[in-house]
Structure formats: C-alpha cells, structure tokens
Amino acid sequence: MATQRLTIDNIRPEVRDAQYAVRGELASKADEFRERLEKGDKSLPFDKVIFANIGNPQQLDQKPITFFRQVLSLLEYPALLEQEDALKAAFGYKQDVIDRARTLLKGVQTVGAYSHSQGVPAIRESVAKFIEQRDGFATDPKNLFLTGGASSGVNTLLNVICANKSSGVLVPIPQYPLYTATLALLNAHCVPYYLEEGKAWGTDVKAIRDSVSAAKRDGIDVRAIVVINPGNPTGASLSPDDIKDVLDLAVEENLVVIADEVYQTNVFIGEFTSFKKRLGQLQQKFPGKYDNVELASLHSVSKGMVGECGHRGGYFELVNFDPEVQAQIYKFISIMLCPSVIGQCLVELMVNPPKEGEPSYELYTKEYNGIKDGLQQRATALYEAFQKMEGVECQEPQGAMYLFPTITLPPKALLAAESAGKKPDEFYCLALLDATGICVVPGSGFGQKEGTLHFRTTFLAPGTEWVNRITKFHEEFFQKYK
Amino acid sequence: MATQRLTIDNIRPEVRDAQYAVRGELASKADEFRERLEKGDKSLPFDKVIFANIGNPQQLDQKPITFFRQVLSLLEYPALLEQEDALKAAFGYKQDVIDRARTLLKGVQTVGAYSHSQGVPAIRESVAKFIEQRDGFATDPKNLFLTGGASSGVNTLLNVICANKSSGVLVPIPQYPLYTATLALLNAHCVPYYLEEGKAWGTDVKAIRDSVSAAKRDGIDVRAIVVINPGNPTGASLSPDDIKDVLDLAVEENLVVIADEVYQTNVFIGEFTSFKKRLGQLQQKFPGKYDNVELASLHSVSKGMVGECGHRGGYFELVNFDPEVQAQIYKFISIMLCPSVIGQCLVELMVNPPKEGEPSYELYTKEYNGIKDGLQQRATALYEAFQKMEGVECQEPQGAMYLFPTITLPPKALLAAESAGKKPDEFYCLALLDATGICVVPGSGFGQKEGTLHFRTTFLAPGTEWVNRITKFHEEFFQKYK
C-alpha cells in the first residue's frame, strides 16, 4: 500500500515555515469555543467569544453604512431599479442611491462578469479623482490596480519585487504578519526595523538606516521598505518631515516604497499625509531628485469607517514604476483574472461617498461620525483600563484599531510558560482566552524587541463589560503567579 | 540621480517568465479597441468587440439567475427583510428567497465581516450535503475550503504540492493556462500529457504514463496530476472507466489527483461522474488499495449555468490528505484572511438551488434550462460553421464553453507570420481581431502538438452574426495568402 504523497516533511518548505499568528493556535481555539457555545455547551466560564485578534469591525457589531449597502443591493439585483417609487416609499432609498447604482452598472455592465484584471476602468477613474482631490497631484487610472483587499495587493507587489533568496524588504516591527508571512513564502528576507514604543510606536529613520547597514553586511539585497502609515498597532501618523526622511532614504538606498495606508481615516490625533502627496511635493521642489522613487500605496475597504472586510476590496497605485515592470505586474494579477466586482464597486463608494447637499449625505455623515467617535471612546476606555493594570504599560491610542500593551509577567508565570512549552506572551494570551473567551494575539506574532512581551487587541468590541473581564483575569493571573 | 530600482531584468524571474495567454497581447488589443469604440472612434471595421477569449458568460449577455441575485440583494441590505410584503408585492420576491436570505444571514452574521478562512461553517455544511447527494459518499465540511474562484484554489494547492524546482505536475495539453502559469511562478515543472484530438480531446492514460516515464528520466519528481473533467476545451466527460484508469495511475505512481470539475454541469453528451464518487466506489470495492489517494476536487460559480465570474466564488474538497498537510493548507489560505463572503453565499445558492415545489423553482428551472439550451445551440452553430471553412477541422462539442479547432494555414500565411515576428496561430488571431473585433486565443496559449495550429473560442456570444463575421474573415484571409 502506498503512503500518502504529501507529508509535513515533503511539502513546499516555504509554506511550512511561514508564520501567521493572527489566525494561529489561539484563533483556532477561539473558533472551537464559539462552536461549543453555539451547540449549547454550558461548561465554559463565558457565554460569548470576543475576537479581538483581528480588525474585523462588523463581526463585532459595527453596522455597515446604509448608502453603501443600498447601492450594492441594487447592483446585485438591478431589476429593483424598475420600481423606483416602491424603492423610495417602502425602503427609503434616496435618489442618489438609485443614480449611483445606475452609474456603476453602466461602468461594470454586470457584477457577474469578470472585469478588466486591473479593475473596472470607470471605477479606477473614480479612485484617481479621489486621490487627486486628497493630494492635489495628478493620478492616472492606468497606474491603479483594484485588488481583493490590501492583502492581495501586498502579495502581488512582493512577488514582483523579491527576485531571489538574497532579496530583502524592510518591514516595521511590530508589523502586520502578512508581510513576514509573504516574504517567507517567497523565500526572501524580512529586514526588520523597530518602531519606537516610547514614542507611540513612531518610525525612526535612524533605526531603519541601521537595519539597512546590518542587512547589507549580511549580503542581503535590500530592495524595498514597507511603511504602515498610520501605523498598526497604534495608528501613529507620520509627519510630513518623517515621510520626507523615508523618501530620502529611498533615494539614497534605491528602495521601492510600499506605503500601507489602509488606516488613513482611522486617525484620532494629528493628520494623515499620504506618501503620494509628499512625494509629489518633493518632486516639485527638487526637480529630478525624487523622479525615480517607486512608490506603491495601498488602501482597502476593510478598515476605516467602512469596515467591509468580507467584501474583499482594495487598490494600490504605482508611481514612477518602469512601464515594463508595470506590464509584468499586470500579467501577474491577470492569472487570477480579477478581484470581486462587487468589492470593486464598494471601493468606488468608499472613495466617492455622498456629498453635502445630496439626499444621502446627512445619514452617511451621522453613521460615519458615529463609528469614528465610538472607536475613539472604546480605545480610550481600554487604554485607561490598561493603565490601571499591574505590570502593563500602554501607549496612548492615536488611531488604527489596536492597542499593543507591554506586559511584565511575574517570574513564576515565566516558569509556568516554560514548563507548558509556550512563549510567555502566548501562555498569557491562552490563559486569557480560556478564562474570558477574549481572543488577542501575542506580541511574538508581530515581532517585539528581545526581552519584551506584548499582546495586541482590537478596540472594536462594543461596550466595556469585556474590558472588565480582561481586568479581572489579569488580577487573578498576577495573584496566581505572584 | 538614481535609476529605478525595478527593471524587467531584476524582478522575480519566475514572474517575468510566466505566460498567460488568455489575457495577453490579444486581450489588451481588444480592450483598446473597446475603449476606442466607446469614445466614438468610427475608424474600426466593426462596431463591437466580442470577447470570445474567456469563459465570461455575463459579459456576453447571459442573464444571471433571478433567485440567486434576489437573495444576494437581501444579504447586501438586510433592512429590506423588514418589509416582506413590499418585497413580494412590488418586486416579486418569493417566500423561499426571503427564507434563504434569513438562513444565510444567520450563518454569516454579515457579508461585511471576514469569515473563517476556510469559509463560513454553515455554507461548508451545505456544500458537503450537495456533494453527498451528488456522489452518495460522506463529506466532512472540515475538508472543504471555500475559495475566490477555482483559480485561487489551484494556486493554493500547487503552492503546497510543489516543494522545489525538481517538483513536477502532470497537466493536460491543451490546458487552461492557469496551471502552466502557476507552475512557472513556483519554478516547478509542468509535465505535459496530450489529449487525443481525434477522440474529442479525451484523456488517454497511456499518454499520461509515457509522460510520467519521460519526466522521471529527466529527474523530475512527479507529484500530482491535473485532470480537467469535463474537459476544457471541448467538455468531453471522462467515463467511470477512464477515471479508474487515472486513479490506478495515481496509486501506482503515488500522485495527488487535482480534479478540476468546474464544467460539471456544462455537459451536452454523456454524464458527469466526479472523481470523488469514483474514488469512493473503488475504496469500497477494493479495501485498502485506494485509501491513500489524495484527491483535491474544485468547483466554481463562474461556469455552468451560474456564470457568476465576477463574484469570485468556488471551493475545493480534500480527500485522504494527511491532517498535518491540511493544517498547512489552512495556514496558507489564512494569510489572505478569507474569500469574498458574498461570493461564498453564491456558492451556497449554486449547490442548494430551489427544489421542486418551492415557490422559485419554476422560474429557476426555466432560466437554467434556457441557458443550457442556448449554449448547446450556439456550440452547434459555431461547430457547423467551422466544418464549412477551408483548412479548419473541429471536434464535435460535448460541453464546457469552448471550441478548439485546428487550422491549416497556407504557406504564404506562415511566411507572413514569420516576417511579422509572430507565431502563425497568433498571426491568424491578430488578423481576425483587427478585421472583425472578435478576440480568440491562439492554440499556443494552451499548448498544442508540435506542428499543429489551433485557436480557442467560446461559444457564449449571442446570435450568429459574429459567426458569419469569422467565416467571412477566414475566406478573405485564405484568399489573400493563397
């Protein structure tokens, strides 16, 4: 009898060795708990699992924005448009909802057909207008690529950039593990640069420069830098000067800049400046100097006040890329045909929401601001709770959807973790999940400086009861291992 | 001044060298023609571009199935469910539409949240039921992976299977170029086996065996075989005996079987038998012998009478996979978080359509059969036209969405192609596009036996006027190069 062809020892080693903590052991265990609760299991010490491991707003009861979803319903079943009066009278659809659905249908023909692999031309034109209005610089729809969420865009870019196993990409630590996982799959180097925890996880160009030098000494061909701005975890926004520093470094070291700007509207403090805008300003001010800085910037419908993760929509823009390289990027994405067309339509709605004076504007603004204020309030409540906990230090939230506190565990807890065969932060997070049903991600999943321990939690879950659960668990945990 | 970091010479060579003809030069040119026509350009000798290069039914005016789209509209905007009477009275929604939307919403919570990376559990249960009813064998939802179309499933499977540059996968020729392109990206070997053109492009196990032997002689570690059943191009269905032959080969040669079954309902002649069913029968009949045959079978909402390409929905089922390997597959897909949730819901609708006696059944059946009959009629019309053309031979259509005729070009045309720097089939297809606006794909994009020339065209475009355009072009082409 033959044995199975594929075993853990003979599959693609890059796949086997890639790490992806956001949906790792903890998330699987949380899923099991949820299933048990759904089946009526009463033996758990909680009655609900809270998935604070992932920025998934609608799973935690954030309501979708009405305008977006009304338009999408019409795109799915255009026959509804034949009865405008009934739509308005019975369901409260406004004229701008109906008009937008008609415009989008003209652009896509139908959401059931493959689109152009780069995305529907009319939608790319709308995205181009949005970027022009945001930044004040021209945008060519030919340089825009609609994607199935930012993740798929990152995958495309890294596939093209990483030529071989000596290629390296600078990635901030802590980071979203998509970057390290994708680099591992491509057998390329993650060149880490550490964010400054003491400065709300800000970017320090000196730290980046040191990382580049160290990588070069190791023979790594450093090709690109990933900047997450506003940052994940805390949403710190880079100032125009910070961005210039990164772009100067890109000129000096000849690096492609990947600007992950999916949190551009999740900003509580300061103001978002895009890399595209800053690059445009510098190109004007210093003719020639920045003309070959290749910039790829990403955006998504999953974050912000849109929070439509399940629709898998996003885009990236390429600036200053060699047309031949851009053609290769097009070929690469065309193998997967096209991103979800309804997801593309949602990108259009995100970048072109109702304007002042339009019938849906008032409700849209109310919903949008309600979500924004709610996020800020929850972030503050969670931050305040962390400040009171023993052995926990947390940076002030500035945006995004996460907090990333440091924890200092008692020596007995470290020993207990060791004898359980777990990393200490993992051990803490598993204990938290077992006791409270709250799923967070250990800092080791994102990277953390040697000798420090963290965990990442979203502040998306409604209410504050769950925050109290964390506080209570934490006290008991410290009591136990004191 | 620095030069650009990325050039055609230093990007990932696997990306640069991958070929993907379905959306290559011809498709780009066709897109340009469409744009010119939309902008009112009158200088072209046609007034419409027909994209016969890709199985994209709704682009060519196939109507979506009402039941599916009504349910999706409710999922996008669940507030519609608060006015059931108005939905029924003004828009003709039936009770089963409303009920299904409620059931799906219970399963997904919202289409705006990331789901479980393998897909919504309730939807996987529904798919499992469908497979059990189709095949008569148990299916565990834990072995099902919902995907963003079959393409993304193939990408996942090949990523895990291809360990290194000596890994090889058997691929039928002609084939859908996704397979060769993905293998090229992974720097693994495509081990071609030729389908029998004389037998409506049927599968010949002897040819496969010869290919395996040749590959082994070349030091290739042949790990898997791709079977497209029903076949692309002509939709030939493998008989139960044919399938047994392939499974026997899989046992002998210790191969993973990838059964691409996306055309399972596009069958005009004969009956579809799934690999899962046949494997189940053989496992019962010969205990032990087939227990380690790893089978991955794929399905999609893009083909069949569903034709919802733009929604990017599909699934694959794993049978007899090592649980450790399956866990790695889960980790791999989790990096991209999840497939479009509305696409997942469409998978559920496809596998669980209205049943006899339910309110939407009659309309569903009418629409479904109308599409099926229309496809068969167009296939026949195109086939008959090809039979009358000089230098063209075509196998009888049996299903799928394509015909793949052989063309024998006059020597003068071959010379003209050479001096234009084109492959002869490419030269012919470019001339066809220039003259008629009809975009087809040269046989070289799918693979063809040395010395033969083909092109692939879908038979999705409505009417027969376009068929006449091909006939007229072909006559003039032959006249010119005689």
SS3 assignment for chain A: CCCCCCCCCCCCHHHHHCCCHHHCHHHHHHHHHHHHHHCCCCCCCCCCCEECCCCCHHHHCCCCCHHHHHHHHHHHCHHHHHHHHHHHHHHCCCHHHHHHHHHHHHHHCCCCCCCCCCCCHHHHHHHHHHHHHHHCCCCCHHHEEEECHHHHHHHHHHHHHCCCCCEEEEEEECCCCHHHHHHHHCCCEEEEEECEHHHCCECCHHHHHHHHHHHHHCCCEEEEEEEECCCCCCCCCCCHHHHHHHHHHHHHHCCEEEEECCCCCCECCCCCCCHHHHHHHHHHHCCCCCCCCCEEEEEECCCCCCCCHHHCCEEEEEECCCHHHHHHHHHHHHCCCCCCHHHHHHHHHHHCCCCCCCCCHHHHHHHHHHHHHHHHHHHHHHHHHHHHCCCEECCCCCECCEECCEECCCHHHHHHHHHCCCCHHHHHHHHHHHHHCEECEEHHHCCCCCCCCEEEEECCCCCCHHHHHHHHHHHHHHHHHC
CB B481 within 8 A of CB B473: no
Quote the distance between the C-alpha of residue A417 and its chain's center.
30
Strand pairing of B295-300 and B256-260?
Answer: parallel
The torsion of the CA quartet B432, B436, B439, B441, rounded to 10 degrees, works out to -20
Question: Which of A336, A346, A349 to mutate to probe the B interface, most B CBs <10 Å?
Answer: A336
B455-458, strands of its sheet edge to edge: B402-403, B455-458, B441-442
Nearest to B312 among A255, A320, A340 (CB): A340
B-proximal residues of A, 179-208, CB under 8 Å = 181-182, 185-186
If you average pLDDT over residues B355-382, what whole number do you get? 96
A318 forms bridges with which residues in the sheet?
A296
Residues of chain A predicted below pLDDT 70? 1-2, 21-23
Cα separation, B286 vs B53, in Å, equals 44
CB B271 within 8 A of CB B439: no
Nearest to B15 among A117, A328, A339 (CB): A328
If you average pLDDT over residues B66-80, what whole number do you get? 98
Question: What pLDDT is attached to residue B23?
Answer: 66
Chain B contact present for A138, CB below 8 A: no
Lowest mean pLDDT segment, chosen from A80-94, A353-367, B150-164, B444-458: B444-458
Question: pLDDT tens for residues A116-152?
Answer: 999 999 999 999 999 999 999 999 999 999 999 999 9
Residue A222 structure tokens: 């450093």
Residue B192 structure tokens: 């071609």
Chain A contact present for B1, CB below 8 A: yes
* CB atoms A69 and B76 under 8 Å: yes
pLDDT confidence band for B1 (50 / 70 / 90): very low
Element (H, E) at B17: helix B13-17
Residue A5 structure tokens: 């062809």
Please provide the size of chain B in residues: 482
Question: What pLDDT is attached to residue B374?
Answer: 93
Residue B161 structure tokens: 């299977």
* CB atoms B15 and A160 under 8 Å: yes
Chain A contact present for B395, CB below 8 A: no
Lowest mean pLDDT segment, chosen from A38-42, A428-432, B99-103, B345-349: A38-42
Helices A66-76 and B66-76: crossing angle in degrees, nearest 10, is: 180
Q: How many CB atoms lie within 10 A of CB B370?
A: 13
Cα separation, A325 vs A223, in Å, equals 14
Strand pairing of B221-228 and B167-173?
Answer: parallel
Cα separation, B189 vs B459, in Å, equals 32
Cα separation, A463 vs A291, in Å, equals 49
User: What are the structural domains, with CATH classification, of chain B?
Assistant: 13-49+367-481 (3.90.1150.10), 113-351 (3.40.640.10)
* CB atoms B112 and A288 under 8 Å: no
CB-count burial class (<10 Å; 0-12, 13-18, 19+) for B9: exposed
Question: pLDDT tens for residues B416-443?
Answer: 999 999 999 999 999 999 999 999 999 9
Give start and end residues of each alpha helix (H) in B355-408: 361-388
Cα separation, B293 vs B298, in Å, equals 16
Chain A contact present for B286, CB below 8 A: no
CB A246 within 8 A of CB A209: no
Q: How many CB atoms lie within 10 A of CB B142?
A: 14
Chain B nearest-CA distance from A237, in A, is 25
If you average pLDDT over residues B153-181, what whole number do you get? 95
Chain A nearest-CA distance from B122, in A, is 11
Chain A nearest-CA distance from B476, in A, is 31
Cα separation, A56 vs A41, in Å, equals 25
Residue B358 structure tokens: 């339910």
Q: What is the DSSP letter of B48?
A: -
Residues in CB range of B455: below 8 A, 6 or more apart: B404, B405, B407, B425, B428, B429, B432, B440, B441, B442, B443
Cα separation, A121 vs A274, in Å, equals 23
Contact list, B123 vs chain A (CB under 8 Å):
none
Chain B contact present for A108, CB below 8 A: yes
- Please report the number of interchain residue pairs, chain A to chain B, with beta-carbon separation below 8 angstroms: 306
Question: What pLDDT is attached to residue A23?
Answer: 66
Nearest to A112 among B16, B307, B324 (CB): B307
Cα separation, A466 vs B368, in Å, equals 49
| pLDDT beyond 80 at B278 | yes
B260 forms bridges with which residues in the sheet?
B228, B298
Query: Which CA distances in Å does A396 have to A54, A236, A401, A403, A409?
Result: 20, 10, 12, 8, 21
Cα separation, B476 vs B467, in Å, equals 14
Cα separation, A144 vs A326, in Å, equals 10
Chain B nearest-CA distance from A267, in A, is 21
CB B343 within 8 A of CB B148: yes
Element (H, E) at B412: helix B411-419
Query: Which CA distances in Å does A469 have to A436, A456, A460, A474?
Result: 6, 16, 15, 8
CA angle, A384 then A385 then A389, to 5° = 120
Q: What is the DSSP letter of B371?
A: H
Question: What pLDDT is attached to residue B3?
Answer: 79
Write down the pTM of the prediction.
0.96
First to last CA, chain B: 56
Q: Which of A204, A201, A194 is nearest to A249 (CA)?
A: A204
Chain B nearest-CA distance from A343, in A, is 8
Q: What is the DSSP letter of B78?
A: G
Cα separation, A130 vs A410, in Å, equals 51
If you average pLDDT over residues B250-260, what whole number do you get? 97
Please provide the size of chain A in residues: 482
Residues in CB range of B70: below 8 A, 6 or more apart: A77, B91, B93, B97
* CB atoms A113 and B254 under 8 Å: no
Q: What is the DSSP letter of B257?
A: E
Q: How many CB atoms lie within 10 A of CB A197?
A: 20
Chain A contact present for B13, CB below 8 A: yes
Cα separation, A246 vs A236, in Å, equals 15
Question: pLDDT tens for residues B3-52?
Answer: 799 999 999 999 999 988 666 788 889 989 998 998 999 999 999 999 99
Chain A contact present for B106, CB below 8 A: no
Chain B contact present for A325, CB below 8 A: yes
Question: What pLDDT is attached to residue B463?
Answer: 83
Residue A413 structure tokens: 């807890």
Chain B contact present for A13, CB below 8 A: yes
Contact list, A15 vs chain B (CB under 8 Å):
159-160, 328, 331-332
b/e code A451-481 from CB counts within 10 Å (16+ = b): eebbbbbbbbbeeeebbebbbebbeebbeeb
If you average pLDDT over residues B205-233, what whole number do you get? 95
Q: Which of A479, A402, A387 is nearest to A174 (CA)?
A: A402
Chain A contact present for B291, CB below 8 A: yes
Widest Cα–Cα separation across chain A = 74
Question: Which of A11, A146, A302 to mutate to probe the B interface, most B CBs <10 Å?
Answer: A11
Strand pairing of A392-393 and A221-228?
Answer: unpaired
